[in-house]
């Protein structure tokens, strides 16, 4: 299959490049320099047209959640207008768009959340979440797209939650972590495998637009995930002992950081994913592999 991939220089983009090539697909990797989705130059679009992709996977995104609060226009330009531009280009090519979305689009109600359009209202989401939600709505309106919602991403490179928690523990920093709401930690490599297999299943080629939740297998509080990280790090010799941790409630966090609205409950049903590609493998081996390869 001929796959065009925006955001190919990012962590997820790199993982998708490796997975798609390993499975024998013909790939057009597009960095921001190759195709700026906020501008869509004539020459860049011509390059995509010449390749004639059968599917476009969009990994280009403004992902700095806290920074987005003060850089709203930049975040909107990439996460919403950029998706609109890609959809327009791909409609001309009769090429479906696979949009990587986020649990930040979820409304502040108890999960697990179904694989359906989010009912979050204006004001319930942070800037990042709102721009990703608008992108989902564009895909739903266009039809023939695939929305892949995922959770808290991590891997051996980059400033992931795993890396940040380990650095804080190594530096002896006091750890106060949310213990009463959930995230779904997801390795970049695992998400890449899921996305490529969903594309191979042909889900992106169906109308109307489908929504699939692709995450790791476990819903954990940040507190519980941190304990798993530190336990694995001790087993691997990256930490000498488990650090002291204090529990924080979600409501207390929300009062301390009112602008950066985290998902109230990030648990996601995975029924469509499991039906399409089977059970999700255990999380711990990915956590250990990431920790072992990290440069801290």
In order along its 296 residues, the chain shows pLDDT tens digits of 999 999 999 999 999 999 999 999 999 999 999 999 999 999 999 999 999 999 999 999 999 999 999 999 999 999 999 999 999 999 999 999 999 999 999 999 999 999 999 999 978 999 999 999 999 999 999 998 999 999 999 999 888 999 999 999 999 988 999 999 999 999 999 999 999 999 998 876 777 899 999 999 999 999 999 999 999 999 999 999 999 999 999 999 888 888 788 899 999 999 999 999 999 999 999 999 999 999 87
pLDDT at 293: 95
Eight-state DSSP code of residue 77: I
> Is there a domain that residue 288 lies in?
no
Q: How far apart are CA 162 and CA 263, in angstroms?
A: 18
> Is there a domain that residue 262 lies in?
no
pLDDT at 13: 98
> Is there a domain that residue 170 lies in?
no
Q: Is 256 exposed, middle or buried (0-12, 13-18, 19+ CB in 10 A)?
A: exposed
Distance from chain centroid for Cα 37: 18
> Is there a domain that residue 197 lies in?
yes
pLDDT at 228: 98
pLDDT at 149: 99
In Å, what is the CA distance from 265 to each residue of 57, 167, 259, 274? 27, 26, 17, 21
Helices and strands (H and E) in the chain: how many: 12, 10
> Is there a domain that residue 22 lies in?
yes
Q: How far apart are CA 218 and CA 116, in angstroms?
A: 20
Q: How many domains does the chain have?
A: 1
> Is there a domain that residue 156 lies in?
no
**CA-closest candidate to residue 125, choices 160, 77, 76:** 76
Domain span holding position 27:
2-151+188-216+268-277
Which CATH number goes with the domain that contains 104? 3.40.50.720
Task: Quote the pTM value.
Answer: 0.95
> Is there a domain that residue 196 lies in?
yes
Cβ neighbors of 144 (< 8 A, separation 6 or more) are: 96, 204, 205, 206, 207, 208, 209
How many beta carbons lie within 10 A of that of residue 278, not counting itself?
9
Phi and psi for 140 in degrees, rounded to 5?
-65, -40
> Is there a domain that residue 130 lies in?
yes
Q: How far apart are CA 279 and CA 52, in angstroms?
A: 33
């Amino acid at each position: 299959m001929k796959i065009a991939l925006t955001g190919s220089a990012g962590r997820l983009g790199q993982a998708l490049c490796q997975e798609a090539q390993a499975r024998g697909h013909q790939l057009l990797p597009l960095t921001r320099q190759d195709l700026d989705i906020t501008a869509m130059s004539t020459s860049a679009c011509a390059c995509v047209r010449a390749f004639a992709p059968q599917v476009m996977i969009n990994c280009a995104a403004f992902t700095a959640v806290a920074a987005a609060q003060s850089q709203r226009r930049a975040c909107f330009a990439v996460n919403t207008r950029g998706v609109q531009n890609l959809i327009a280009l791909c409609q001309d090519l009769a090429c479906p768009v696979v949009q990587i979305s986020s649990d930040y689009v979820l409304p502040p109600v108890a999960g697990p959340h179904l694989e359906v359009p989010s009912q979050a209202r204006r004001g319930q989401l942070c800037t990042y979440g709102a721009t990703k939600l608008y992108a989902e709505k564009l895909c739903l309106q266009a039809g023939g797209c695939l929305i892949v919602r995922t959770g808290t991403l991590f891997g051996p490179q980059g400033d992931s939650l795993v890396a940040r928690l380990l650095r804080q523990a190594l530096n002896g920093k006091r750890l106060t972590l949310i213990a009463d709401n959930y995230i779904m930690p997801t390795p970049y490599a695992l998400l890449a495998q899921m996305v490529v297999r969903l594309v191979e299943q042909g889900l992106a080629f169906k109308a109307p637009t489908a929504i699939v939740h692709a995450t790791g297998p476990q819903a954990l509080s940040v507190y519980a995930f941190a304990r798993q990280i530190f336990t694995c790090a001790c087993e691997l010799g990256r930490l000498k002992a488990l650090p002291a941790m204090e529990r924080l409630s979600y409501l207390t966090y929300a009062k301390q950081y009112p602008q950066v609205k985290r998902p109230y409950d990030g648990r996601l049903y995975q029924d469509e994913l499991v039906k399409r590609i089977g059970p999700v493998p255990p999380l711990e081996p990915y956590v250990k592999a990431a920790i072992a390869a990290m440069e801290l």
